[in-house]
Structure 1
Amino acid sequence: MGSRSLDSGKATVSGRKYSKCVILPANENMVPEALEKRNQNWTVRTRVANDLIIQVGDSSFQLHKLAMVSKSEYLNRLVFQKRSNGAKDTLPKIQIESCPGGSEIFELVVKFCYGMKVDLTASNIAPVHCAAHFLEMSDDLEQGNLISKTEAFLSFVLFTAWKDIFRVLKSCEPISLWAMKLQILQRCSDAIAWKACIDPKLFTLSENDAISLNVLANDAENFIHKGIAENWWFEDVSCLRIDHFVEVIKSIKKKGVRSKLVGSCVAYWTEKWISGPENLPNHLTHHLLRVTTESLIRILPEEENSISANFLLHLLKLGIMMRISFDLLNEVGKKIALKLENCRVSDLLVKNYGNDCTVYDVGTVTRVVEAYVSSMLKNPTPKLPVVGKLVDGYLALVSRDDKLSVEQFRSLAEALPNDARYCHDTLYTAIDTYLKAHPRLTEEERVSVCTAMDYHKLSQEGLKHATRNDRLPVNITTRLILLEQVNMARSMTSTGSYYQRTKTQAIIKVNKCLGNQWMTSRNEIKMMRKEVDSMKMQLNELQKCKMQIQRRAKGCLI
């Protein structure tokens, strides 16, 4: 597909490859001898003296009224106004401050008006098209004017060349308002969405990396051999600026692309552009990140399982840092809460940045767990213990961090209701790990760490380990030892009346300890542990005797 031409009088549009064409006006009013440039000044040399100066930004153009006003209704009005208000013996000067593309694009407009060749490419077609609209260069003035020429080439680019669409979008960044007004952004987004949702087996790759829509019979097999996946368009789309990316995602959603694929594309873009918000050099960057974060949240797919919990946690963390709107933060928090029942501990790991922070962001996870509990109160779920196990596993992992505060640990441990844990062994492991990693805690802080643990829900193995754990606070250890004494006293009682005296002595010891409620001495705790060991030996002897009596009784019956 080497060239294309559009005939309108003398007008031609020809293209070599996909991204370039040459245009000429329909009527060549005036053939210039030269277009000279000195510094920021352009001068068109003809046999007729210049009678018009147009200032575009910092650049000036010495031109001719006839060549310019015959193509531009906008310049026609300005020249007429100058003629009505200004002196007739002075050279009229027109100031244009907001011409799309500035002086560089206006130079192409001047060339067109003078009948010179104008090279249009995917990188300049959008600003030239916008400038033509700004200057009102329509076919009402002259058939084959600049608006219709650029429109023809723009449509051609959007229909054929994949890579060129992104070049068009890139060129729209300095002229976003005009590009939106003339729907160039929308048309580019729709073109990308249309090609992204078409079965990629229908595409062939051209030599300049553009994707052609020529469907050939053998393309499907070639495509499979090239190993191109359904996310082949991610890399190109991820190069877009956030506002252009948002428009593309909206168009892709409308085309019915699978929500999981859309979610993966959003995550891909975010990972590429926001690898870590630890460096915020100035307020402008902070503001840009805030707007970007809010935009990303708004385009997230609504469908369940369309995006991972870990990515949503990163997005929530970023939103908290950027202080985005409360409603958007809640929206992300609810999305993650709905996923907790199917999460693994690794899904909750979101790194912090900075030397004074914990390794992982425990606060954000706590916020999500609280959101889950809040939603669960409205709609009770039988999977609450699953989330309890998840949280305890997460606590056991992050508790090794020496920068994790008591308040952070306790807030997450207590975020779940009592019925979220059938057994507290994993929570106990997390507490023990935390106490081991923070040896300088005060007794009061140790007690605070243990608040969420219910020692009645420890297994026998957990209880046995806890009663001998000197890292636990004194009052917790006392409770655990007393509990073990009571349990053994009950076991002794259940062996029968053969050793009634021993049983009575054990119960007296337990009652004595219960009377001395909160023990404060480590020596007393050691004595209690010795008593427990002694009671265990007595209990073993009782059980042996009981078994012997039962055997003898059975022998007598025989």
Structure 2
Amino acid sequence: MRSKMMGCREEHQSTHGSVLGGKPNHCVIYPPKSSIVAEELERRNNDWLNSSSSSSSSSGTYRFVRTKVASDLMVQVGDFSFHLHKLAMVSKSGYLNRLVFAKRSEGHGHNGGSLKIVLDDLPGGTNTFESIANFCYGFKVDVTATSIAPLYCAANFLEMSDDLHQGNLISKTEAFLSFAIFSSWKDTFKVLKSCESVSPWSKDLLIVKQCSDAIAWKASTDPKAFTLGQNSNGNLNVGESSDTWWFQDVSTLRIDHFIQVIESIKRKGVKPELVGSCIAHWTAKWFSGTTFVFDDPTIFKHLTQKLQRITIESLINMLPAEKNSVSCNFLLYLVKLGLKIQVNSELLSKLETRIASMLEQCCAQDLLVKNYGDKDTTYDVGIVIRVVKAYVLLALKNSRARLCIVGRLIDGYLTLIARDINLTLIDFKLLVDALPTNARSCDNNLYRAIDMYLKAHPSLMEEERASVCKAMEYHRLSEDARQHAMRNGRLPLKIVTEFMLLEQVKMARSISVSKSNINPRTTTQVIMKMNNKKCLEKGFIAPQKEIMLIRKEVENMKMQLNQLQMCKLKLQKQVQRSCIK
């Protein structure tokens, strides 16, 4: 298919209505006729294309235009020199026109020699300037989605507008650039990727914004409405969720371009939950453990850490503010990264507060954030301790019922991590003690976690085991849990003895309460009834004998109470001896 657009003839295969895509968009620019007839731009060094990335091997490489007129202008771009003609170049470039005029004003070129111009900061470098030279001499220029952004930036740098020459390079490249961005999903990303080499020109010329807006529009639209093409791995972008199909391609973007895309997507009204999930997807792709992935291994370590810090701070700042738009687990992961990279403390505190406000809606699995060191715990306990402490500061005015929800959450989390042999006693205790005592109405889950921890750490000293059990209270355990604790050989003797003592005291109180609730008149009436029944069979029993029976019952109760008191004293002495040892 061939179509004309603002003097630029594009050759591309139409694929509208197909998610499978087709050949990438391709443009052939046919420039206006040049004032100088040239045969071709001759390359004296045939290895130029292979050596363009190495300054040492490309030094002294030249380009000559074959014409009947000798060249009078040398343009140096990087390590490459182009022997050209002023008339052909300045007629289409306002920037070169000014430089040539300034050189001649300084007296250069009056003796018949060539003027020399150096363009070290030309966007796109040597490859792009060769295309520009071809355009100025009337040769056709092949352009793709990968090369169009650098060429457009270079045309603006050289001021190649229609004011100098109708159908100049700016208008022609601009036409194909807009077409490539909005016609194909695949080409939009190619254009955006090529912008990395021509920053900040691509940003100032709004190429990045155009690409971001196009991606946002397509992400909120039925993917079958435009050309998707294939992703960077050559796999077709089909079979994805109807809401998240665009995550994979967006996650390939560099952080600054990713920020632009997310801002455009937010303005487009995409659901906050999808935006949060996309940010999490990008983070998971770019961060492996806590190591940032770089294409260039020569970047210095301090620069790497600085870029990491800027990246994490940018991710935190771009998070949707809406409640539940981002998972608690992902936010904890950001805290982990932020602590390692030492991001802004105020920003980190704000993030911890946000997580703390979500704890009442979380489950224990949400708190599991993996560590990657061999000697580290399986899961990062430190970040959970920080968040729980932040919650306690927020929850001072909360009802006890809400505190107990978080209490059950933390006890469940302790149960999940208790078997980790690398979990230190200090971290376990800090997490147990992070909540106030009124945050637990029942200690059954806490007891289970403590028992699992003691089982996984058999080398703990008696004092250490006692300190672990300190937060567990007898009266907050169920009857079954108490009975199990009193028979549990992993618990320290002090705790077992204390539980047994409290069990005896409980029994004593129960008997004492029963005794105090006895009504003499009622007891007498019961006995009288029994006696009256016996009287019918054996005759009348004297009132004096009835009184003796009551007294005997009271004496039995006193004896039982004394025995319990003696048992209590013995247990107290055992506890004291065990403490001395």
1:60-459 superposed matches below 5 A: 60-87=81-108, 88-89=110-111, 90-200=113-223, 203=225, 205=227, 208=229, 229-277=242-290, 282-377=301-396, 382-459=401-478
Give 1:499 shift: 3.6
2:26/2:142 contact within 8 Å kept: yes
Which moves more between the two structures, 360-369 or 155-164?
A: 155-164
Give 1:429 shift: 1.4
Deviations along 1:337-379, one digit per CA (max 9) or x if unpaired, are 2221121111111111111111111111111111111111255
2:276/2:319 contact within 8 Å kept: yes
TM-score, structure 1 normalization? 0.85
Give 1:516 shift: 6.3
Alpha-carbon distance change, 381 to 198 in structure 1, aligned in 2, over 3 angstroms: farther
Q: Which amino acid aligns with 1:134?
A: F
Deviations along 1:377-431, one digit per CA (max 9) or x if unpaired, are 2555742211101100111121111111111011111111111100111111111
Deviations along 1:72-106, one digit per CA (max 9) or x if unpaired, are 11111111121122442232111111000110111
| SS in structure 2 at match of 1:377 | coil
State how far apart, in whole Å, the 2-side matches of 1:469 and 1:329 are.
43
Q: Which amino acid aligns with 1:504?
A: N
Residue number among 478, 482, 506 corresponding to 1:487 in the alignment: 506
Deviations along 1:270-300, one digit per CA (max 9) or x if unpaired, are 2222232258884443333322222211111
Which moves more between the two structures, 451-460 or 74-83?
A: 451-460
Give 1:492 shift: 3.6
State how far apart, in whole Å, the 2-side matches of 1:69 and 1:79 are.
8
Partner of 2:559: 501
- Which of structures 1 and 2 has the larger relative contact order (alpha carbons within 8 angstroms, sep 6+)? 2
Q: Which amino acid aligns with 2:349?
A: N
2:183/2:226 contact within 8 Å kept: no
Deviations along 1:425-451, one digit per CA (max 9) or x if unpaired, are 111111121122112222332232223
Q: Which amino acid aligns with 2:219?
A: A
State how far apart, in whole Å, the 1-side matches of 2:207 and 2:40 are.
34
1:478/1:519 contact within 8 Å kept: no
Partner of 2:41: 35
1:475/1:518 contact within 8 Å kept: no
2:415/2:452 contact within 8 Å kept: yes
2:185/2:226 contact within 8 Å kept: no
Partner of 1:14: 10
Greater Cα radius of gyration, structure 1 or 2 = 2
State how far apart, in whole Å, the 2-side matches of 1:179 and 1:135 are.
15
Q: Which amino acid aligns with 1:435?
A: L
Aligned sequence identity (%): 52
State how far apart, in whole Å, the 2-side matches of 1:226 and 1:411 are.
46
| SS in structure 1 at match of 2:35 | coil
Gapped regions of structure 1 (runs ≥ 5): 211-224, 525-558
| SS in structure 1 at match of 2:28 | strand
Gapped regions of structure 2 (runs ≥ 5): 14-23, 49-60, 232-237, 516-553
Q: Which amino acid aligns with 1:50?
A: S
1:475/1:519 contact within 8 Å kept: no
1:5/1:15 contact within 8 Å kept: no
Alpha-carbon distance change, 227 to 464 in structure 1, aligned in 2, over 3 angstroms: closer
TM-score, structure 2 normalization? 0.82
State how far apart, in whole Å, the 1-side matches of 2:564 and 2:331 are.
57
State how far apart, in whole Å, the 2-side matches of 1:137 and 1:187 are.
21
Which moves more between the two structures, 443-452 or 260-269?
A: 443-452
Deviations along 1:459-478, one digit per CA (max 9) or x if unpaired, are 22222222222322333233
State how far apart, in whole Å, the 1-side matches of 2:263 and 2:397 are.
33
Give 1:325 shift: 0.9
Q: Which amino acid aligns with 1:203?
A: A
